[in-house]
Amino acid sequence: MNHTLPPAEAYSPRQNAVLESALGLLVEGGERALTTAGVARAANCSKESLYKWFGDRDGLLAAMITFQSSKVKAEPAGSGSTGRGALVAQLTGIAATLLKVLAGDVSLALNRLAIGQAKRGEADLGQLLREHGRRPIETRLSALLESGRRERLLDFADTREAYRTLYGLIVRDMHVRLLLGDSLDGEEPAKRAAQGIKEFFRLYGTEENTGPAPERAGAGNERTG
């Protein structure tokens, strides 16, 4: 009966439904709306069951994070094709997915929850969110970057550094802005992803692979004849 770290195996269908209700409540009204009584009412279950299943309120929050991350998983691992085009396509796809996930209601709500909870030093939910939410993306992107390096399409020394730069080029300040309540006015995920990847190749592509020096001052005019 260790509730301190949520189990890796999934919860029961009933518990999944409860967690779904809780997530909806969180998305709708923020942390203040996520009371135990509120969750019980929204999910048509008793508070006693909540405490039996998740230990206490913090356990419920942790379960919500693991549950949500388990839903996002399971992607099509990418085709085995090689070459610059394939690499760009895969990177762009992951980048667009990343942007869409980060901008999603549930992700934002959970990040707000974990960040609001975090204090100097202790950061229980934050670590959980990093482990379940960010590390998978990092490993996938890093693997792709390194495969690109093996193909001599990319050139970098430190994978982690390259990954972070790529992340910065893709996400920029969008995430924090959204977390603070700003709206992404017209930031198209796919377009941003493509642009970020293009810029990344200009920085870390091998000489013949920095891509067509893309539209600079003229956004939409002649393409370098």
Partner DNA sequence: GGTGCAGCGTACCGTACGGTACGGTTCCAG
Partner DNA sequence: CTGGAACCGTACCGTACGGTACGCTGCACC
- Using the rule CB under 7 A, is 46 a contact of DNA? yes
Q: Which does 158 bind (CB under 5 to 8 A by kind): its own copies, DNA, none?
A: its own copies
In whole angstroms, how close is the CB of 19 to DNA at the nearest point?
13
In whole angstroms, how close is the CB of 22 to DNA at the nearest point?
11
Q: Return the structure tokens found at 123.
A: 């950061």
> Which of 5, 10, 14, 31 lies at the binding interface for its own copies (CB under 8 A)?
31
Q: Return the structure tokens found at 145.
A: 């970057």
Cα(183)–Cα(15) distance, integer angstroms: 32
- Using the rule CB under 7 A, is 57 a contact of DNA? yes
Specify the amino acid at residue 117: Q
Q: Is the separation of the CB atoms in 161 and 141 below 8 Å?
A: no
Nearest CA to 24 out of 114, 111, 105 is that of 105
- Using the rule CB under 7 A, is 40 a contact of DNA? yes
Among residues 25 and 193, whose Cβ is nearest to DNA? 25
Using CB atoms within 10 A of its CB, is residue 173 exposed (0-12), middle (13-18) or buried (19+)?
exposed
Judged by the rule CB under 8 A, the positions of this chain that interact with its own copies are 27-31, 105, 108-109, 111-123, 126-127, 129-130, 134, 155-158, 164-165, 167-173, 175-177, 179-182, 199, 202-204, 207, 215-219, 224
